[in-house]
Amino acid sequence: MNIKYLEVNEVRSSNRNKKMTTPVSENEIITLENVSKAYSTGAPALNGVTLHINRGEFVFIVGDSGSGKSTLIKLLLRELTPTEGNIRVMGYDLNKLRHRKIPKFRRNLGIVFQDFRLLKDRNVYENVAFAQRIIETPTKEMKKNVPSILATVGLAGKYKAKPKQLSGGEQQRVALARALVNKPSILLADEPTGNLDPKNSWEIMKLLEEINEAGTTVLVVTHNREIVNAMQKRVVTMKKGVIVSDEEKGGYIDDED
């Protein structure tokens, strides 16, 4: 499998460095500074998180259930806004992003969830094509792009199937194809292998790695200890809303208590 089409196409705002307290390097694609997020109930889900991710990195985010990983992903998607701190993604200052600008911002992100989130009553082809219709891709191009990306994720010949007729691994491939068809700068995956068996988990992770090698920045939230340890990527470990370790070529840190 070969992924050659990816290119960096993020949008940059002109006042890129104005509001951040520390200067941001040209290479940085995700910046969180002192970010806290408190829901209306309970302790804050994130508490003063600072994180810098460079263009083209592959980052695992690990941690116990409830440590704030999904909250972090939702902040990066601008599904939530932080109660404190600044978030900058691809040059967008997310605190200042207007509601009606959110769709345009998200078109540069690919998003994959544990529960696939496919449109139930549309077939594989339409689920992937949907992402292209949103950005009004000419039909001719769409008819090339969709089969090409489906072939990349190993789903050639399943265009007509409905999500229900597919295995979990196949559904996640459809979701991945949909996330990638618009050539995003960043791919965010929240426990993408949480519902998959080990074989499918490995295949999905290998795909994510290939996508990363083709230039896309990849963030993967996962509980899969074996894969994290084997892949030797950057590992950010969270605990109770705080980053407790951040290591290059790291491994899965066991929780002591």
Ligand X SMILES: Nc1ncnc2c1ncn2[C@@H]1O[C@H](COP(=O)(O)OP(=O)(O)O)[C@@H](O)[C@H]1O
114 binds Mg ion (CB under 5 A): no
Q: Which is nearer to Mg ion, 70 or 108 (CB)?
A: 70
Size of the site for ligand X (CB under 6 A): 12
Task: Supply φ then ψ for residue 250, to 5 degrees.
Answer: -90, 180
Q: How distant is the alpha carbon of residue 117 from its chain centre?
A: 14
Options 31, 67, 70, 217; binder of Mg ion; rule CB under 5 A: 70
189 binds ligand X (CB under 6 A): no
Specify whether the CB–CB gap between 110 and 185 falls below 8 A.
Answer: no
Options 56, 66, 169, 194; binder of ligand X; rule CB under 6 A: 66
Q: Which is nearer to another protein, 127 or 237 (CB)?
A: 127
Shortest Å distance, C-beta 114 to ligand X: 10
134 binds another protein (CB under 8 A): yes
Which residues from 159-188 bind another protein, rule CB under 8 A?
178, 182
Write the interaction track for ligand X spanning residues 24-43; mark x where CB under 6 A is met and - where it is not: ---------------x-xx-
Using CB under 8 A as the criterion, which residues of the chain lie in contact with another protein when the complex forms? 77, 79, 99-100, 103-107, 109, 111, 117-121, 130-131, 133-136, 138-139, 178, 182
